Copies of this chain bind each other. A is one copy, B any other.
Amino acid sequence: MKYAFAKRVRHLQSSAVRDILKVVSKGNVISFAGGLPDDDLFPLEGIREAFEETFKSGKKSLQYIETEGFLPLRDLLIDRMSRKDITSYHSDEILLTTGSQQAIDLFSRVTFNPGDIILTENPTYLAALQVFESYEAKVVPVESDEHGMIEADLVKKIKKYKPKCIYVVPTFSNPAGKVWSNERRKMVLKLAQKYHVIIFEDDPYGDIQFNKDETYYPIASFDKEGTHVLYTSTFSKTAVPALRTGWIAGPHQIIRIMSQAKQANDLHSNSLSQQALYHLCTNYDLDGHIRNLIEVYHSRMNIMLHELEKANLPGMSYVVPKGGMFFWIELDESIDTTELLKTAVERGVAYVPGAPFYVGKGKKNALRLNYTHSTPEKLETGMKILTDVIKEHTSLKEVVR
């Protein structure tokens, strides 16, 4: 039988990251590809106890709950967000989701008609692009530098395209590992207010900051009326991914409609895990755990940095990450990282080529490296293999020229 699918399916494709992960996870390859936290650091004992505590509250803990999610966890998140100076949301302005991915999806579902415009950085989070495209929204990239979006280009594109939304990952972005200055954050909010555009602020990595010498305030923290920013984050990077618990906070009217969409989507997310996460935050030193994560991930980033500096590849450039999970590297322009991937995997190391993170035609010579999921030994070995492969390929190209 020939199956007939919806038009929106043509925009759906398996994520390059996850496809590579599928192959790599089976072999003996050192992977810098996935955006995975390190298993070895998971707070297994804390989570075990948190579930134990949840089960103590009896059989009621196993029943259906309301779509918005376990209320005590929502209240607790409001408290945690207030530490970042996000203070404008009440508990009916927060929705618990299956990871922050679902927050991006539900927002898109209730927002975009085919042809609607969304402004993004470029490159930006691959799986967000896939969601926007699956709802047939049109993504228009805004020029940025190392401090964030550039005001002149943003103003021009807001006026020209009348976007419904500006999607940003201002703190330790995926893939670029970049952090916006507070000035740029305020600038984007000011423009959003002036031109009546919603900002979707995706902040999965904000807690993984290596040095505390600077403070980065979420854009949501400047929106004191709570009218122009939707803020989403997740427990996947700071606690564990398997519990699939993220959240989104924003204006009541939008959260209410997203909640109705969620009801159609899956009634509600896993409520046992929401209860366990509540107990984890209450009884376990999650902040101490995050401090430990930061220390380990920082040292791993430094190992990767050290290997990059040692290799001293011609034509290479990068910004040293101040937090998050990724190194974004641009190589000599002669190198196509998508082509190079096959050789790299054959030699025993995987990464994600930069191309799919771009809207439209992007740089062929970029790649994303994850440093959180590999041991120091694997980071050293993997980086040696990778820089060797790049070196060989670079000189080969130069000879061919």
Binding site for B on A (CB under 8 A): 1-9, 12-15, 18, 22, 34, 36-37, 39-40, 42, 44, 47-48, 51-52, 55, 58-67, 97-99, 101-102, 105, 109-113, 116, 127, 130-131, 134-135, 164, 196, 198, 227-228, 236, 240-244, 251, 253-254, 257, 260-261, 263-273
Q: Name A39's closest neighbour in chain B (CB-CB).
A: B59
Q: Is the CB of B269 within 8 A of A98?
A: yes
Q: Name A116's closest neighbour in chain B (CB-CB).
A: B6
How many angstroms between the C-alpha atoms of A62 and B113 in the bound complex?
Answer: 37
Number of copies: 2
Q: Is the CB of B242 within 8 A of A271?
A: yes
Chain B residues lying within 8 Å of A242, measured Cβ to Cβ, are 61-65, 270-272
Among B12, B130, B266, the residue within 8 A (CB) of A110 is: B12
Chain B residues lying within 8 Å of A272, measured Cβ to Cβ, are 242-243, 273
Chain B residues lying within 8 Å of A60, measured Cβ to Cβ, are 39
Q: Is the CB of B63 within 8 A of A36?
A: yes
Chain B residues lying within 8 Å of A18, measured Cβ to Cβ, are 66-67, 263
Q: Name A197's closest neighbour in chain B (CB-CB).
A: B1
Chain B residues lying within 8 Å of A37, measured Cβ to Cβ, are 63
Q: Is the CB of B64 within 8 A of A241?
A: yes
- Shortest CB-to-CB span from A259 to chain B, Å, is 8
How many angstroms between the C-alpha atoms of A52 and B55 in the bound complex?
Answer: 11
Q: Is the CB of A270 within 8 A of B267?
A: no
